[in-house]
Structures are given as structure tokens and as C-alpha cells.
Structure 1
């Protein structure tokens, strides 16, 4: 479907949860794809995260600023190669503030200072179960950027993994922000609509999801 001929509408999915279709332009999507590729080459590469119960996540993840592993943050990737993760760039924090202002209003960034990014790559078979982002000490909103294959993004409630939830199709360039009453809502990706990617951004297939977060952890924190 051509979004120019059939524009998708901005939507408030739940209090504090806002979907802004097509927010990332082609050039910015391309820059983000290039940055993700560079981060994926190290010092800590993309990996399938091992879960405490013995399972392995189907998405591949690389982190910037802080390294996430279930269920804590550290500066070094002790579950991968022990290296310190790449620094979180100021341009990415600026992008997060612009995203927050777009979702909530021009004066809404409130000193937003994201200091970590989790980058997940989904191939056509990857999924993400319902979960909450709750390892952060800060309750600042999460900014989510999508590039590549569309997906079904399931946004639920704060009480349980079950209903009620809302399924949203996220396409390349879409912005999704959740904070306030929805900051700790369960959410997941039950399905990726594989096969298109985003050739204009240099992504031939698969889906990149970049989530920016404030950890609330001390800037000089170590691993």
C-alpha cells in the first residue's frame, strides 16, 4: 500500500502510548541502518540472548550505552565476550528527544536523556513474547523506531500478559512511544510480515527495532 495515496493516521493506542506512522524519512532510516551495522560489528556483536530458564531469544540483539541481559544492565557484555559496549552517541539522544516531542507535543521532552539503545533484528521467523521493560530505574518513556519488514506489534496492559491488548501494524519508519500510565505495559511481536525489508534504507530483508531508554543508572557505572 502506498502511504502517500493512503496515509495512515497517528493514533493514541492507550494513555501515554502513541503511534506516529512514517516518522523517519528515508535518509534518516539509512543512517540508522548504517549505524546499527557498525554497532553489530563490535566491540560487542549481535547475539541471540540466552534466557535464565534455558531458552534463547529468536531475535538478535546488540546494545549501545549499556548492555542488557536478563534482567539487568552492565557496561560490559559478560554474557558475550566481556567487552565494553559502544558509547551512546549524543545524536541518538537528540533523536529521542525529537521523537518524544513528536509523540507528546513540542514541549514534552522534559529533559529526556536516553542513555541506552537496544537494537533487535528480526528475520522472518523471529518473535518477541509479551514482556515489560522494567529493568530501568527511570520511568521516562521508551522510544521505539522500526525499519524494514512490517510487524504485528501487540500492546497490552500493565497487569498481565493477557487481554486486553491492541495489535498495531508497525512499518518501516514508524515511531511508537510509550510512557506515563503505559510505561510498564506488556508488549510483544507475535508476527513479522517478512519479504519487503526497506531497500531504500539499505535493508534488503528483516526488521530492525531500535528502542531508546533512560536507565536511571549512574553515568560512571561499571560492569
Structure 2
């Protein structure tokens, strides 16, 4: 009986450790060889870009080793780009869509960008996005593997957006470590100043802040 209890404790610790690094929890059984086999299967699934983390479905992953800042290589002329102070930032995707924070699969949260200056400017590349939790913890989002394109905004236009794939954790789900967003800091591509927005959707995300290929990540500036 004591041996079975010790084995259960070791398995529980192993599951929590794996969730903490964002690789997904592997179920434990009475055989260590079987556990190793399942762990290998999860690793192979992650390499293919699809897995399940404690029941939360992950359909896409950020690019491994991707950057988390707003600096982009070959992003075009600095004189033409939109500066932080020239843009207005408001939550809301196409047709007013909002993420379902009780879903067990990935959702999309979007921030519409409006050019409030009196000149035409461009946006190209990945913004810097940092989530701040209720307790003050921070999470710099990694980039997706998508290829950026140039977005041109005339004065008053709001056709560009920052979009994030996010991985919610339903309220009743036990086991996964949670990250409860409170604020979001956004730095436009190749800018050094940011804006701070309140997180409007409630809920919690699967905490993969230490993972190299998390299920929550930022996409390049795209159509809003």
C-alpha cells in the first residue's frame, strides 16, 4: 500500500512539472516504462503542432525560440511607420467578436488599431505583447510562425489589428496552472513605447509563460 502511495505522489509531481513547462501532462500508471512511452508520444505530438494539455486542446504553437519584443528585421522605412502615439487601440475582432474564456480550445483576442494622425503610415511585423497578471506576474508572448505583410493606414483608418491566439482554461478544470490576465502592454512593430490596456474578458489562460512553443502567442499585424 505504501509503495502504491509513493508511486502516485511521484506521478502527480511529474505531471505538474510537465504542465509548468508547457509540454502537456502525461498520464501516469503503475509502470514507469509505460509513462515514458506516453511522454514520448506527447513530445512527438508537440513537434507536429497539435496536442492536448490536461484536456485543453492546442491546435497551433508559437515558433520555437521566437522573439518576444517589437523589433522586426527589414520592416521598411522608419519614416513611414506608424508610431505608438499616432494609434488608437481598442479591443474587438471582426464583427465585434470576443474570445470564449470557458472554451477548451484556442481562441483569438484582437485589438483594432486606428490611425489618429494626419499622415498615412504603415505597420509591418510583430508587436511586442506582455500580459500582466492580477498578482503582478508578467508574460512576454512569443511570435507565431506567420509571415508579416505591410499594412497601410490612411488618417482615420482602422483596418489593422493585433491578434493573439490564446489558450483559456475553463473555470472548473482542475490541474493546469492558471495565468489570470489583468493588463496587456502593447508595443507596435519597431517602436519602443507601449500602451497599456485592461484585460476585458475575465477568465484565465493556461500558464505556459516558460514554454518555447506555447499555445498562447501573438501574430503579425494583420487585417482588423
TM-score normalised by length of structure 2: 0.27
Determine which structure has more spread, i.e. the larger CA radius of gyration.
2
TM-score normalised by length of structure 1: 0.27
